[in-house]
Each structure stands twice: as C-alpha cells, then as structure tokens.
Amino acid sequence: MSAAENNSHSMKLPSNIQFPRDVEFLDDLPLFFYRPRGVITEGSVNRAIKVLGELEFLVKQPFDRFTDTLEAEAIDLNFHYILHVSLYRRLSYSGRPPVKSAILATDATAIHYARLHAVLTQGSPLKVRIFQEAKEAAKWLKVPIERLVART
C-alpha cells in the first residue's frame, strides 16, 4: 500500500519550510517532488534531502516521492556520494511506514545512480523504482499523470 492510499485527506503543510526552486510538496496527494534542472550537484541533492527530512519530521504521515531528472543537463555526483546519501536515507527513515520513491530517468548516468540508490535501500521502508516514462511512474505511485508532469 502506498502512502497516498493511507491518507484519505490532505495534510497540513508546515509554513516554515523553505523550498528550493526544484522541490515541491503536494499535500493533497501527498507527494514530494524533486525536479533538478541544469547540473545535478551534491548541493542540489542536499537541499532536497534537507527539505524531505523536515517534511518527514513535521508532517508525521507517510508520503511518496517523485524525482524527475529529465530536465537535468548533467550530473556532477559520484559513487561515494550516492553511497553516503542512500545509506543516510535508509537509516534516517528506518522504522517508519513504507513509502514509494519513483525516479524518472532516461540518461544513462542518472539511471546508473538511481539503480545504485535502489539497491542500497532494499530491505528498508523506502521502495525505490526507476522509470523511463512518467506514465508508468504515475501508475505505480497511483497518482494522475497530470499531477506528475512538470509545471512550466
């Protein structure tokens, strides 16, 4: 069962969270979005993880995640950093209800790092899957495709 299925009503979003331009939270689904643009750097990922952690602490109810890498022009990350982030997320979310994390990627490097993240979080409540089409991610997350497509 996904987090969206567990929540029949919208959550109250804390007003004191500072969202970077590439992060969004739709409390009516509920769904956390990370849509990096340009170069995906450690700083960009760290900012998204910081907001994700704040939401997990303040909101209390589980919510799914969607990362859309299609607008990224390049990826400036490395194996060691992905290992660190994946293990951090695995530990920081342990003991909580299961959630889905869909990663939309078509770039070979993005897919490689997403697969590594998925392997490193196996056995945790974070259920990570990689998709090459938004339609399939929406189906898995059980949200309307219109809600996943990037806003301009």
Q: What is the pLDDT of residues 65-120, one digit of tens each?
A: 999 999 999 999 999 999 999 999 999 999 999 999 999 999 999 999 999 999 99
Q: How many domains does the chain divide into?
A: 1
Which residue range(s) make up the domain with 70?
Answer: 3-148
Residue 23 exposed, middle or buried by CB count within 10 Å (0-12, 13-18, 19+): buried
Give the residue among 46, 2, 4, 1 at the shortest CA–CA distance from 25: 4
DSSP per residue over 52-106, as a string?
Answer: HHHHHHHH-S--EEEEE-TTEEEEE--HHHHHHHHHHHHHHTTTS--EEEEEE--
Give the residue among 130, 111, 22 at the shortest CA–CA distance from 71: 22
Judged against a pLDDT cut of 50, whether residue 6 lies above it is answered with no
Total-model pTM: 0.90
Q: Say which CATH number the domain at 23 has.
A: 3.30.750.24
**What pLDDT score was predicted for residue 7?**
45
Q: Residue 54 in contact with residue 19, Cβ under 8 Å? A: no
